[in-house]
Amino acid sequence: MIGKLIIIQATKMPFILKNKETEQYRLFGSLPILCRNIGFDKKQEKNLLYNFSQKKESKFENNEFLIVKVVLERGGSN
């Protein structure tokens, strides 16, 4: 289960995919990989890219999927 999601607008961010039918979550490092994995064609991929980059949307939802652009927090060495 995913707790809080921090959402920001940036061009190269990871995406969380929720499959509404199976209620499963997956994490993708790029939009093209996500789109290929769920069977989106190039036109659908371009529409998603437009929504996330130009329109500054942080999520996309249809009857099958919820896609959320998120921040990846990384640890560092002290």
Tell whether 8 is covered by a domain: no
Tell whether 52 is covered by a domain: yes
Structural domain harbouring 37: 15-60
What pLDDT is attached to residue 74? Answer: 78
CA atoms of 48 and 51, how far apart (whole Å) = 5
Tell whether 6 is covered by a domain: no
CA atoms of 21 and 54, how far apart (whole Å) = 29
Tell whether 20 is covered by a domain: yes
What pLDDT is attached to residue 41? Answer: 95
Tell whether 71 is covered by a domain: no
User: How many distinct structural domains can be found in the chain?
Assistant: 1
Residues of the chain whose pLDDT is less than 50? 1, 5-11
Tell whether 67 is covered by a domain: no
> pTM here?
0.76
